[in-house]
Every structure is written in structure tokens, then in C-alpha cells.
Structure 1
Amino acid sequence: MAASALWGSRPKTRGVVLDLIRAARTISRVELAASAGLTPPTISEVVRDLMSDGLVVEAGRGASTGGKPPTLLQLNALARYSVGIQLERNTCVIVVVDLAGRQVARTSFRGTAQMSPEKALPFLAAQVNAILDTAAVGRDRVLGVGLVSYGPQDRHAGLLLTPQPTDAWYEYPVAPRLAEILRMPVLLDNDAAAAAIGEYWLGTVDPHSTYGCIYMATGIGGGVVVAGEVYRGSSSNSVEIGHISLDVDGGECPCGNRGCLENYAGPSAVVRQALEMPGLADHLALDPTGTDFLTEFARIAAAANAGNLQARHLIERSARYLGCAAVTITSLFDLDLIVLAGPSFAVAGSIYQTLIQQEVDRRTFARRAHPVRVVPSVSGSDAAAIGGAVLVLQSELVLGRARVAAGKALSLVLPVVEATEAT
């Protein structure tokens, strides 16, 4: 007998249904059929499959509309977990999230900028194992690891395509090597793209919205999400707003461009500008030879919040430059929302939000057609790490990249890494 069209596309159908249950929190089979555009028998079959795998459970009865009260369904959030790692020059964050994207454990530590990848990745793996042990999460319930970092990168091969923080990291197979050490799947992605998709998964944006994310840690990145999917471009190195040129005659950037936004508005640029103000630099005890730009930037931002006029001037100038970039991506993608995420927005986020909103309101091309809101990320400084974990959940469960098997860790069928299943 020929295979039916339904079961030929079974992973995709499962993913659609699972995502609807996730987004609704609780939903009946009748509502699922209407939302998914599938027949009630098909929904019953898919739901039975998901319940058999332990991913969905019944959650009591809904309100009656005249007949028998419907049985409600919800995710079994504790059935599966994923790990997100934000790999930054100055700091690293590791989170564990459940199937609903809720954070169940977190740790952070100084970045691996001074380590070679041969030393840094075993250290990261040890931290992952430690946090899973602390959270009492068995490896058999972990779908994989989302490793997110700056670009450019070859997402499919799991390589960083930048000699930062040192030449040793250039083209180093970070994802395959970490997967080999951990013996679980590892997906490499851009930190800004991860932060952007995390907002969608956690239900903080309209699922039909076209929105952007400006991510600022040591550098500046961007991401755009359309109907729940990250805009990737041809190599998943899209929306790099930190490298939009603001001055064709500006200084050369390590990326090869000139006059990049990051060199005017990024945390390292703000620190350099502060060091040129002896009074401010001495007052804040800034280190002219230091490389921990996140910590130094946080001091400047805190001083700006406390009323220091020099510090306030630097932060506001950075915010206006970022406002210019926000106008650019809003006009390019016709966005209706911009999310500000990352550790560098954590201290002075209100200043940035206010000034970026002003620039968008005044200068966006489609401002007469619809408003564009600028809002802080619900995940704050951990947005990229949480988003990395969410990307694993989305790849495994929603996009149908792998078959869910109860009690087994999954191998990503993305060409990111061919990892051996955890045992």
C-alpha cells in the first residue's frame, strides 16, 4: 500500500501541532484542528503520537459550549530539555530550559578570550555537565546544545569565520568538537538571531509579527524574525547591523568595511571614547590596557544613570547611532517591533530605549502606515543563551528535523554536526 501524504510529511505535521499547543498553553483537539487546518481524525492521530512520546499530556476539561466539555492538551514541559551557551569574549552564560522554553538552571563565568579552543571547549563541556547535574536533568532528556556566538560563522559546518578573540579560533570546528566532547548534538548559531527567536518562543511577541532584534554585548548584532522564522539570508550571516557603514571615509573595521556602526556605538567604542576624557576615566577607574569592555562599559552606563554628564553624553550618542541603525533595518524589513537584548542593554537600557524610539518615530519610512515599538527583551542579558536553547527545541520539535523517540537524546539532522547519540 502506498504511504499516505500525511505520514510522508509526518514530522512537519507533528511540528505544527506541537507548536500550536506550545503557543496556546492549553488547547482542545477541536481548536487544534481549526488552527492547523487539519481534519479531526488527523489531529487525533498526531496527538496520540505526541502523547505516546511523552511530549503532550491532557490537562483537564475546558468550558462546555453545550455538549461534553472538551479535553484540554498542554505540553509536558519536563519531558525534554535543551542547553544554551552564550560564548562571548568577556563572559559566558549557560542555561538549561525545559520544553516550554522556561529556564530551570543558569550559570555564568568569565569569557574564554584568553583560552585556546582546545582548552576552552573542554572547560565549557565541564560547565555544561555540572549544571545538568545540579539541575538533576538526565542526559537522556536533553535534546542538544545551542552554542551561540558572534559572526561571521559557517553555521552548517559549525565554524567561526573570524580570528577573534585570537587567530586560533578562525575556522576552528567549535560545534563538532564540543559535540564530540559532550556526546550530544550541538547547533552553532548567531547570538543576535538566537536572541530574536527566543522572544517568539517565549510568547512575548505577536506570532504574526515581523520584528527585529538589536543585540549588544561586546559588539552589536541584529536579527529579524518573520512569522516565527529567523531571516537567514544566503549563509545565515544576515542583519549584521554592527557593520552597517555610517561613514564611507571612516576608520577601517576588522570586518573589512569602513565606518562601521560598531566602531561608533559599540561598548568598546564607548570605552575608548571615555578614556579620551581624563576626568571621566579617572573617576571611573577605567583601565586603558584592559580588554574587559563589558565591565568597563557597565561602569560608564551606571555613571550615566547616576547623572554624570560626561557619561550620559557618551551613552546618548551611542543610542542615537543605534537609532540610525534601527531606522535602517526597520525600513529594509518593514518591522513593527524592535527588541533590545543583550548584556550591554542591561544597565542603560532605558536611555537606549527612549532615544531609539525617538529616532524610529521621527525617521522610519513607513511611520505613517503603522507604529514601530521599541521594547526591552524579556530575557535581558541572557537573551542569547536562552535563544540558543530555544533554537534546539525549534529545530528538533517544531521544524521536524528529527524524529522524537521517548527516552533517547536526539541527533540533529541539520548538517551542523554528525554527533553520536548520547548513551
Structure 2
Amino acid sequence: MNVDVITERISNRKAKEVYELITRQTTVSKIDLLDQSGMTVSTLTRLLEELTSQGLILESGFGASTGGRRPILYEKNPAYAYIFGLEISRTLSKLVLVDLGMNKLETKSWAMTEVMTPGVLLPLIVKEAKRMLAHHGIETSQVLGIGIGAVGPVDRVAGVILEPSYFPASGWRHVDICRWLSGELQVPALLDNGANTAILAESWHQRTRSFKHLLYIHAGVGLRSSMVSEGKVIYGAVDMEGSVGQMIIQTDGVAHRNQAGNYGALESYASLYAIEKAAKSALKKGKATVLVHMVEDPEQVTYQHIMEALKKNDPLAVEIVTEAATYFGIGLANLLNILHPEKVIIGGPLITGGELFFQTATQVAIRKTYYYPAYQVVFSKGQLGDEALAIGAAVMVMNQLVKA
């Protein structure tokens, strides 16, 4: 189903401008909208009436009086439509159902095991989406669409997941996911890489604040990044989501696990793979650690085991995580010295695993940032946590309403 059916819901360009102004504020008065839009009173009044009659906006009470009548306040109507947001990642996939205010109605997750091929997962997603709609009494006509944030590289225009690496299951190459889901659910489908959808979510969540340039990095099985400037995602000539992991931080460093990867790449020192590899090597060398009581074979060690050991303040776990975080901080400093974002949001399993990685990495990055302390950057784990990718996929669909 063509996404034009979303953009055509608001056919008037000026109406789109007014709607976007309203959506970026909790509530706003007509007087403020006049100042912000530069429109005449008659034009703005007509557009507000149109948007209200369509159910896109609501009159939400009165503002404070400045001497005359109290001004009417307007806000977006969250119940105008509903959106599905879908995350497709290497460790898990997640479906959320939200209203137009990005209020979550329900969520469902699936572990991405070796059996989770597209042929297995996609029918499960469709079945769950239909169940959610039935449970909440929502008709298909009320669904704006489904947004998908997936591991890259992806073809956003064609709606195809191209050739992602390191999926536990086979089959995740050249998956025509938008066409398939749109056909099964009878709603428009949009695709972008997960780092871009995550930063869209965080940017939308902080839309009333003054941050104009945001950098997002997802640290997990691999490293993924994206950037927003003035509320818009920055795109390169190709899908560059995973390129940050190929940043060379040691020219004579270790070989990348992928033959096409760079020697001494950041991802080889700061990722789930790198941390697990370091732990397995230490166990084989006979290093003292509580990990020996958790597995029979060093090759069985997982990131979860290392996190358990870290909670027990195991010296080896502390050493391994600190070293990975230090390398990550070096790579982060390189990005800061080039891009100079106002705020950096870091997410993913390496960040949610505990404070040690986040604190170590950000402290290293600050020490190696060239213009510090004149250049002050804000570091954050984000406001939406593990649901940022899926929520951001829904934001991507919502943004189509104001697209020209």
C-alpha cells in the first residue's frame, strides 16, 4: 500500500505547517500560532477549523488571560489514528502499538534465535498485530501504518532489508519486508535502519527542548549510529548505519570478524562480540574469575554471564568491560571532534548492562575531546530505553502526515 495515503490525509500545505507547529508543543494558543506561522488571522482560523473538523486537533481549554478573553488552546488529537512500530534487531524484535501521541497501548517481543527466520517471524508479527487491534477495538482504517526500524543496510525507498550481518537465523538477506507486511495488514509500511528510528524517537520526545544536533549510537552486537540536525535525520549517499563500527582506532590491530571489515576497527574492541571474545580468551588462559563456575566450556560464555560476574564485582569482568568502554570512548571522542553534536544518546545492550560501560566511555570521550571544556556535550542513555527503535519507527510513520 502506497504511503501517499498518509501524506494525503492533510492535503493543504499550510494546514500541514499549522499541524506540525501544534504537534511540536504540548498545547499552543491561537495567538502563539499566529506569531509562529506568520499567517493572517483569517487564514489561520480557517485552517484550525479544518484540522479540528477532521479530528486531527482538539480544543483543549483556555490559556491565561493577558487582559482580554482567555485564548483557546489547541493540541494534537492522539486518538485520531494508531500506528505500529516494529524493531528488527539481531538479539530481539519488538512490536509496539501506539496512538498518535506516541502513548504505548501494547508491546510484544520475540527473541531472535537461530530459528527466527523471516518466514517464521513475519507471520508471528502479523498475527500479534491483528490480535492487538482486536483487543483494543481498533479498525484497520484507524491505523496510519506500520514503521519498521531494522538492522542495516536497508533500501528505504524499496522497503527492503538488504544484507545485514550476524543474524542468528538464516534468510535475512534481501527481505521485501514492507511489501509483505503491508499486504498482510492492509496498511502502509515504511522502513529505515534502527539507529535512525531510535534517534527520531528521542528527538521527538525532546521536541520542546533546545537541542538541535543530536548524535545516537547503539552499542550491541555491532555499533550503529545516526544523527539528527534541526529535527531531520542526516542521510548519506548509502545506508551508513553500521559504518561507525569500522572506524579504525588501531592500524595494526586485530582482524575484524568479517573478512570485509577493517583491521583495528572499533567494533572489534567495543561490542558484545569483543567482550565475549575477551572473556573466552581469559578463561582459556586460566584467569581467576567467577565465570568458571557459570560454564563448563569457555566457548559457552555469553555477555549475560559477564554481566552476572560484573554484578559480583568480579575483577576479570570489570577489567574486560572497562577496556571495551575505554576503546568505545576513544571512538566516541573521534565523532565528537568531527561532528560536534550538542547531545549524544547512547543505547543498546552495552549501555543497559550497567553503569560501568557508560561512565567509563563518556569520561574517556570528554578527556579526548579537543575543544573541551569550551565545547560542552551532554551525554544521555535516552528517555525511551529499549523501546526507542520501535517507537521511532512509529514516529517515522506519523511524520508522513506533514510531509509535502
Which range, TM-score by smaller chain?
Answer: 0.7 to 0.9
Letter in 2 for 1:375: S
Deviation at 1:243, TM superposition (A): 2.3
Alpha-carbon distance in 2 for matches of 1:262, 1:244 = 8
Displacement after TM superposition at 1:323 (Å): 1.2
Question: Which residue of 2 is the match for residue 197 of structure 1?
Answer: 200
TM-score for the superposition, normalised by structure 1: 0.84
Q: Structure 1: where are the runs of 5+ without partners?
A: 1-6, 401-423
Which stretch shows the higher mean deviation, 73-82 or 37-46? 37-46
Task: Summarize the Cα distance change of 1:248–1:54 in structure 2 as closer, same or farther, 3 Å threshold.
Answer: same
2:3 corresponds to which residue?
none
Cα gap change, 1:37 to 1:302, in 2 (>3 Å): farther
Alignment of 1:20-419 (within 5 A): 20-111=21-112, 113-162=114-163, 164=165, 165=167, 168-203=171-206, 206-238=209-241, 240-249=243-252, 250-254=254-258, 256-258=260-262, 259-278=264-283, 279-285=289-295, 296-348=302-354, 350-394=355-399, 396-400=400-404
User: Aligned equivalents of 2:130 and 2:312: distance in 1?
Assistant: 40
- The Cα offsets for residues 357-399 of structure 1, whole Å up to 9 and x where unpaired, read as 21232122332433001111111111111111111111x2233
Cα deviations by residue, 1:125-154 (Å, 9 ceiling, x for unpaired): 112222333343332221111111111111
Residue 74 of structure 1: how far off its partner (Å): 0.8
Gaps of 5+ in 2: 1-7, 284-288
SS in 2 for 1:97: strand
Q: Residue by residue, what CA displacement relative to the aligned partner does 1:173-193 show, whole Å, maximum 9, x if unpaired?
A: 122122222221111111111
- The answer (yes or no) to whether the contact 2:152–2:242 under 8 Å persists in 1 is no
359-368 vs 217-226, which moves further: 359-368
TM (norm. structure 2) is: 0.88
Cα shift at 1:29? 1.2
* Shift in Å, 1:41: 2.5
Whether contact under 8 Å (1:353, 1:375) holds in the other structure is: no
Q: Distance in 1 between matches of 2:90 and 2:78?
A: 33
How far apart in 1 are the matches of 2:375 and 2:26?
29
CA distance in structure 1 between the aligned counterparts of 2:90 and 2:153, rounded to whole angstroms = 14
Deviation string for 1:278-335 (max 9, x for gaps)?
2454233387666xx9xx3233224323312211112212211221222122222211
Contact 1:93 1:385 in 2 (8 A): yes
CA separation in 2, counterparts of 1:96 and 1:77? 13
Question: Equivalent residue of 2:144, what SS?
Answer: strand
Amino acid at match of 1:251: A
Residue of structure 2 in register with 1:3 after alignment: none
Q: Determine the C-alpha separation between the residues in 2 that align with 1:23 and 1:204.
A: 6
**C-alpha separation between the residues in 2 aligned to 1:189 and 1:228?**
16
Percent sequence identity is: 27
CA distance in 2, matches of 1:387, 1:307: 35
Change (3 A) 1:163 1:215: closer
Matched to 1:118, the amino acid is G
Distance 1:157-1:299 versus aligned 2 partners, 3 A rule: same
Rate the CA distance shift 1:399–1:288 in 2: closer, same or farther, 3 A. Answer: farther
Secondary structure of the equivalent of 2:42? helix
Could you tell me how far apart the structure 2 residues matched to 1:173 and 1:86 are? 15
More deviation in 66-75 or 28-37?
28-37
The answer (yes or no) to whether the contact 2:25–2:207 under 8 Å persists in 1 is no
Structure 1 position 196, deviation (Å): 0.7
Assess if the C-alpha contact under 8 Å between 2:216 and 2:227 holds in 1.
yes
- TM-fit CA distance, 1:112: 5.7
Deviations 1:167-212 (CA, angstroms, capped at 9, x unpaired): 6322221221222222211111111111111011112673542011
- Code of the aligned partner of 2:69: K
Residue 240 of structure 2 aligns to a residue in which SS? Answer: coil
Local SS of the residue matching 1:371 = coil
Checking the alignment, whether the CA contact within 8 Å between 1:19 and 1:398 is kept in structure 2 is yes
SS at match of 2:83: strand
